[in-house]
Structure 1
């Protein structure tokens, strides 16, 4: 709700090991261009040993949770955009093939607010259910729909466990889109998903949707969120079994729609089954000692 929604934007200094094995410190103030470029290198410029994180006041959130249904992908898009305008932050878990949307709408609780004890049992029940749903890749079960719960953002940090081979667990594909293309993204993704489902009987369990404010170009010159000031939205298919062959097939085929047709920006550390050229990392950021065969296919001059 306050500032960009991606972690690296809050990093203000980095201690790393360069290709010669020497420690180097990069603060954001003294050598801003090198610092911002390093943060976009996916580890190809050096090994991060330590980072200094900007500290912000922990403001309380107030949230309403709801389940909504729509009669078309266009109506789903309009619904998401309207919900987002009414609140300070929005998380949506979309069951796309059914046009159903689980939404968590957050807004600032305001100065002087405290966590009301009467609402904390309800808040805790939702926190535990949400954590388990994320861990399991939204595989079955239902989530509570509390209204007006008050909490700190750190109360809802995702927690993961070492899953067994046969346990349901989160797997996903990541794509960044500009908010102006959201309707096209949802409409085309719905059409693709329904066609794939009719052909194979398979559909992802859900699609994670959230919105991120982008910084100016100089502070994020390369990679995702590098389009300059504006709002990005993710639309990420989620499944509960990384080893499912139909999920893997879906992901590979959907890459071509999301990247080639819809112009989505994938992440080489969060998007699977990428082909050479799907992601673009400037060659000047890569040091040969740190550049594996996987990353070599994404280097551009």
Structure 2
């Protein structure tokens, strides 16, 4: 009886041990075997996941929510095999170059877009492009640097993180996230804004520091559609669609803007002239 009990206990321990090993292996993010590009809204801190589609490996600090500091933090779960990790950014002021993070984690080397695209198609990095981390077989949790927004040139920024099998660019996960900084020091991230209520409603969407759509509900018709690309300059913008509609505004922070507008379309029974509006992020 005692031998039987010991044997059953041994089998039970063996099964539990195997279960733990299986669960441990399944908790690893797989090394990329194809090419996958993933984007997400800016976040303050990384989101860890074993699923590449759920992971958000780069956090940018308070600048993600309109704050005054860019704090770059990289976080990744362990992979199922060794990988190379590249960091990079682009900025709207220099659209033909990609800036690759050097292994020291604080400086960058610039390459042309064509050099980077050729590298991704051939699987061979351009000369001088080195991974930030090479042959990594453990999880990553690193703070790179903190910078006040006031010290960063104005523009729209996109941050990239590329993970490849060690020694090759033939397969990869490529994550990216974007944010914008105005020359006034106000950070404005992508999003939707709304002002007022029917019949006077203003809607607009920001993408890469450009207002890509503006909509106003008319008093008599209930509709009004104004399409435009309106650049945000020094946290402010202006737009005029002839005599029928004009608007100007300024962002006080990442989530709020205000200004004035005029609406005097043909046949409008209740025109507005320089009326105030105030919009908030939705």
Higher strand share: 2
Shared fold per TM-score greater than 0.5 = no
Structure with more relative contact order (C-alpha pairs < 8 Å, separation 6 or more): 1
Higher gyration radius (CA): 2
- TM-score tier, shorter chain, comes to under 0.3
Higher helix share: 1
TM-score (norm 1): 0.24
TM-score (norm 2): 0.25
